[in-house]
Chains A and B, each alone.
Chain A
Amino acid sequence: MPSLGADMEAGTLVEWLVKPGDRVKRGDIVAVVETQKGAIEIEIFDTGQIEQILVDLNSKVPVGTPLARIRTDLEPAAGAATPRPVTPPPAVAIAAAPPASPPAPAPTAPAPTAAPLPQGPIVPAAGRRVPVSPAARRLAELRHVDPSAVTGSGPGGAIVRADVERSLGATPVPAERKRTIGLDLDAMRTAIAAAMARSKREIPHYYLQHQVDVTPCEQWIARANEARPPDSRLLMGALAVRAVALAARNFTAFNGFYREGSYEPAAAVHIGVAVAIRGGGLAAPALHDADRISLDEVMARMRDLVQRTRAGRIRSSEMSDPTITVSSLGERGVEALYGIIYPPQVSLVGFGKIVARPWLVDGAIGPRSVLTITLAADHRVSDGHAGALFLADIGKRLQEPENL
């Protein structure tokens, strides 16, 4: 069970997308886990063959518990006919985080997961549970149906979407998207509360703010979008993410993780994009390698990320490894936002609403579009001087949108 955020202690396995014998490759989605942040798709970090499933459907297990055993292509088949779960010598357990990328956040405070992790044993969910498919679960939640009152027609008596539809006695609801359904907003609030309280307890924040003229960005976007069909148009938010990503590559004290008393800069730049959830909620999944992909690619991925986050379908790697967060108020709201750092990250860049202001350009006052950018940073890692240079660099990059 991977850690999908600093304060996650356990997750419930709600769907297996593979079975023993299946071939998998790095990046494949193999399972769905339900957490406080909604349903998360679990990716695999090895290529090989699934040998054994170790955690049953609807089992809630602590972070660190192996979920399955996979034989990688480099290894011979496991000799024993019945591999022992506790000592898996040749096989690799799907657990925690990919070896190559920053490890999943380990709690620094006395958290339950700091204790030795129980290996193998499955924590059974309370009561008798019949498997419920995620689609059925979401529909049931949406329509306030108790899944345990539904008769399942799927494999092993599993409740599938059609069963819930039948119990509603209504015409089937189109399988198309209906949003905010994989999400439990109360649970999300609890997760936000835990992470933010920990942040304010542990991180000595300092704040800086910087006003920049983003008229060049607006003009450049308008020109670029003129010739584009709607689905490849750009938004200011993509330029903001890109400017932060390029700056973060050079200012290493703001892009990384503070864990167990020391700071490690991250090798890659994964921007946590703060996404507001309708009805009150917030998640900041990672937009990977935002410094190494084009602006168009950043925009396309952002659109996909926002839609999936709001639909409650985030992937495991996106939850666990943002290296710095960007939070943007968009075109409504107010001029500035002062963020709270998401541990174990060490900074957050906030973008306010763009406003029209009188501004000096070449000695003359004129109307310009002005954006307030803020930095919340961790004083254990950096000082205001470095923070000011970082923030100024982001502002400078927004003066030259054609280079983003």
Chain B
Amino acid sequence: MNEADIPTVLREELGNIAPEMDLQKLDPLADLREALDIDSMDFLNFVIAVHRRLGVEIPELDYPKLVTLGGAISYLEAKLGSGKR
């Protein structure tokens, strides 16, 4: 998994939760919970899927950094780039 794939992985996993949404048009600064109408169970499933696919530790305290697509991309890039794989 290289870093260029992070946005793809995130869009795929969000697509599994909200299949009817056009994720290409998703504002990277929008709150995912509002923009995609996802609840805490959906969000947990999203974190589980991202953790499994990218192997990144995502403590619960960091959830606020993942509430926008842009924030999630930066967070995961930083985590993967700093050799925490």
Interface of A with B (CB < 8 Å)?
176-180, 222, 225-226, 229-231, 233, 235-237, 276, 278-279, 302-303, 306-307, 330-332
Interface pairs (7), CB distance under 8 Å: A229-B51, A230-B51, A235-B44, A237-B41, A306-B41, A330-B39, A331-B33
> From residue B32, how far is it (CB to closest CB) to chain A in Å?
12
| Also in contact, A230 and B41, with CB within 8 A (given A180-B19, A278-B18) | no
**C-alpha spacing A278/B60, complex, angstroms:** 25
Q: Which residues of B contact A307 (CB under 8 A)?
A: 45
**C-alpha spacing A197/B33, complex, angstroms:** 32
Q: Which residues of A contact B45 (CB under 8 A)?
A: 303, 307
**Beta-carbon contact of B40 and A330 below 8 Å:** yes
**Beta-carbon contact of A278 and B41 below 8 Å:** no
**Beta-carbon contact of B37 and A278 below 8 Å:** yes
Is B6 positioned at the interface, with any CB of A under 8 Å from its CB?
no
**C-alpha spacing A178/B45, complex, angstroms:** 14
**Beta-carbon contact of A225 and B19 below 8 Å:** no
Of chain B, the residue at the smallest CB distance from A306 is B41
| Also in contact, A225 and B41, with CB within 8 A (given A178-B19, A179-B19) | no
| Also in contact, A230 and B47, with CB within 8 A (given A222-B60, A278-B18, A278-B20) | yes
Q: Which residues of A contact B18 (CB under 8 A)?
A: 278
Q: Which residues of A contact B33 (CB under 8 A)?
A: 331-332
The main secondary structure of chain B at its interface with chain A is helix
Of chain A, the residue at the smallest CB distance from B31 is A332
**Beta-carbon contact of A331 and B60 below 8 Å:** no
Is B64 positioned at the interface, with any CB of A under 8 Å from its CB?
no
**C-alpha spacing A338/B75, complex, angstroms:** 39
Q: Which of B33, B37, B40, B61 is most buried by chain A, counting CB atoms within 10 A of its CB?
A: B40
**Beta-carbon contact of B41 and A303 below 8 Å:** yes
Of chain A, the residue at the smallest CB distance from B47 is A230
Q: Which residues of A contact B48 (CB under 8 A)?
A: 230-231
**C-alpha spacing A306/B43, complex, angstroms:** 13
**C-alpha spacing A297/B83, complex, angstroms:** 34
| Also in contact, A279 and B20, with CB within 8 A (given A307-B45, A332-B39) | yes
**Beta-carbon contact of A237 and B20 below 8 Å:** no
Is B8 positioned at the interface, with any CB of A under 8 Å from its CB?
no
Q: Which residues of B contact A233 (CB under 8 A)?
A: 44, 60
Is B58 positioned at the interface, with any CB of A under 8 Å from its CB?
yes
Q: Which residues of B contact A229 (CB under 8 A)?
A: 51
- Near A by CB (< 8 A), chain B positions 1-45 give 16-20, 33-34, 37, 39-41, 44-45
**Beta-carbon contact of A235 and B19 below 8 Å:** no
**C-alpha spacing A138/B62, complex, angstroms:** 37
Of chain B, the residue at the smallest CB distance from A228 is B60
Q: Which residues of A contact B20 (CB under 8 A)?
A: 180, 278-279
**C-alpha spacing A225/B18, complex, angstroms:** 26
**Beta-carbon contact of B60 and A225 below 8 Å:** yes
Q: Which of A178, A180, A332 is most buried by chain B, counting CB atoms within 10 A of its CB?
A: A332
**C-alpha spacing A278/B38, complex, angstroms:** 9
Cβ-defined partner of A235 (8 Å) among B17, B37, B41: B41
| Also in contact, A331 and B40, with CB within 8 A (given A177-B16, A179-B19, A278-B20) | yes
**Beta-carbon contact of A230 and B19 below 8 Å:** no
**C-alpha spacing A307/B19, complex, angstroms:** 13
Contact with A along B46-72 (1 / 0, CB 8 A): 011001000000111100000000000
**C-alpha spacing A236/B60, complex, angstroms:** 13
Contacts A180-B20, A222-B60 known; 18 new A-B pairs at CB < 8 A: A177-B16, A225-B60, A226-B59, A226-B60, A230-B44, A230-B48, A233-B60, A235-B41, A278-B18, A278-B37, A279-B20, A302-B41, A303-B41, A331-B33, A331-B39, A331-B40, A332-B33, A332-B39
**C-alpha spacing A180/B42, complex, angstroms:** 14
Q: Which residues of B contact A236 (CB under 8 A)?
A: 40
**C-alpha spacing A276/B37, complex, angstroms:** 11
Q: Which residues of A contact B51 (CB under 8 A)?
A: 229-231
Q: Which residues of B contact A237 (CB under 8 A)?
A: 40-41
